Amino acid sequence: MKTQHKAPLFETLLSHAKRKVTSFHTPGHKNGRGIDQKLRSFTGENSYYFDVTVFPEVYSLHDPVGSIKKAEELMARAYGVEHSFFLVNGSTVGNIAMILSACKPGNSVIVSRSSHKSIMSGIILAGVWPIWIQPKIDQNLDIIFNSSAAEIEEALNRYPEAKAVFITSPSYNGITTDLFKIAELCHLRGKILLVDEAHGAHLKFHKDLPVSAVEAGADLCVQSTHKILSALSQGSALHFNSSLMDVSRVKSAVSMLQTTSPNYLILASLDLARRQAMLNGEAMLDKVIQAAEYGRKEINRLAKFSCFTRQHINSLGYDLDQTKLTINVTRTGLSGYQIEDILAKEYNVQVDCADIFNLIAIMGIGSDRSDVQALVDALEDIEKKYSGQQQNWILQIPSLSTEMVMMPRDVYLSAKTKRVPLSKAAGFIAAQTLTPYPPGIPVLIPGERVTKEIVEYLMDLSAKDIRISGQETEELKTLKVVAS
Ligand SMILES: Cc1ncc(COP(=O)(O)O)c(C=O)c1O
């Protein structure tokens, strides 16, 4: 614990910055002198001294020795894992690296269809077969639940050939699944457990938060240290803790995907975020949890907004990171998008995201009670001032089935494709991903057979002007398919 007081990378950069070294290295702004003046006068000049390149004092992120190595070792010790890799392109790159490290071309991986889009990139780059699990919807809360241990067990029994299981926990709503059980199910069968814990870098640092993937036994787990803890945007970490995998394979996958010119300010912020979490995390998160619980209580007093509780989520067999506020807006008669807009424009309050049913307000290590108060006051005012037409929106996943007949990688890299009218697309193999919002779960993925039911469903959505992410033109008139 004593060494956790140190921040070796930050300290090295600080002593370098103080020496105001004459720079004959990249970047070209030369300690900020050449930066646009408007930007420099806003930010101040100090941070530019941290924007350096690979030289012996700091060494390379790709083959760390010296202070980056020490900083990664401290991170690994903080999380109780064998090795931590600093990432400068977020959990996006970590997810791809996890699949590349765990699987060889032709392997298959069990994965929820509601996973972050980076999973699809990983599946394509690694050349693996996805075994999709359809997520469950809760129509009372208007949210999607990620895979439960029972669903994973069923998939493992059905697809014993799977090499790995990929889980997202917590979800965007802060809901965590039973990772202990899932780790046990995987490891009993010799399967690798990969966890996208983008929203959970803080879990390990407070006793009242749900269990984190690193404690539950994930072989690899990625965390966006920038989401709730205090790293700068893009600052994430990939944690390795496995007897089923080779750490050098993970190292090479991470290295293949990262820039050779990482931003050292981001790296230093990772070093400091770890130190802060280790030294003060419990106390700081205590305040955040209390503020969030206060907000939850106040929002649940309002007539038109509601916010589910940990108790309720526990009763459904999951756990909840209380710092996340999912605010249901359906009783206002307005959509979450509309309320998000009103909050931003009239109250200067910006939530992380919205859908038709909910707003997601993310608290972080820098949040305080006055932020929560501003949100609660704004919602209280909004429910007095605005009232929309009661809507009959229902969150549902259409019961459509299809089969994966071609590997996504082959569709993406080598198949000849063409565009056919949507009405005539049944029978072809899809060459694009189409994801209607809501519910934000892909209806088609490259390599899947287009069925008559899917065509009818897409045509119906298109006629109703429902947004379908992935469509290439304003209106969904054609579909990109594999030319047979
Ligand atoms: C569940 C999940 N995984 C991965 C990511 C990607 O994380 P990052 O923004 O750090 O690249 C996100 C981003 O929002 C996410 O919500």
How crowded is the C-beta side of 222, counted as CA atoms within 13 Å?
29
Site to substitute for ligand 1 among 85, 88, 92, most atoms within 8 A of C-beta: 92
Can you give the pLDDT at residue 475? 79
For the CA of 226, the closest atom of ligand 1 is 10
pTM of the model: 0.96
Residue 421: count of CB within 10 angstroms of its CB? 10
Write the CA distances from 204 to 70, 145, 187, 199, 281, integer angstroms. Answer: 21, 22, 22, 12, 9
Residue 206 CA to ligand 1 center (angstroms) comes to 22
Can you give the pLDDT at residue 1? 67
Site to substitute for ligand 1 among 85, 87, 88, 91, most atoms within 8 A of C-beta: 91
Query: What distance in Å separates the CA atoms of residue 417 and residue 484, rounded to the nearest whole number?
Result: 8
Can you give the pLDDT at residue 438? 82
Q: Hey, which bits of 272-341 come out as E strands? A: 306-307, 319-320, 324-328
Return the residue whose CA atom lies nearest to atom 9 of ligand 1: 90
Can you give the pLDDT at residue 398? 82
Can you give the pLDDT at residue 403? 94
- At 264, is the secondary structure helix, strand, or coil? helix
What stretches of 302-368 show up as alpha helix (H) in DSSP? Answer: 310-315, 336-347
In sequence order, what are the beta bridge partners of 359? 327, 354
- Residue-level pLDDT, tens digit, the chain, 484 residues: 679 999 999 999 999 999 999 999 999 999 999 999 999 999 999 999 999 988 888 888 999 989 999 999 999 999 999 999 999 999 999 999 999 999 999 999 999 999 999 999 999 999 999 999 999 999 999 999 989 999 999 999 999 999 999 999 999 999 999 999 999 999 999 999 999 999 999 999 999 999 999 999 999 999 999 999 999 999 999 999 999 999 999 999 999 999 999 999 999 999 999 999 999 999 999 999 999 999 999 999 999 999 999 999 999 999 999 999 999 999 999 999 999 999 999 999 999 999 999 999 999 999 999 999 999 999 999 999 998 887 778 888 888 889 999 999 999 999 999 999 999 999 999 999 999 988 889 999 999 999 999 999 999 988 887 779 998 877 788 999 999 7
Cβ–ligand 1 distance for 197 under 6 Å, the answer no
Element (H, E) at 176: strand 175-176
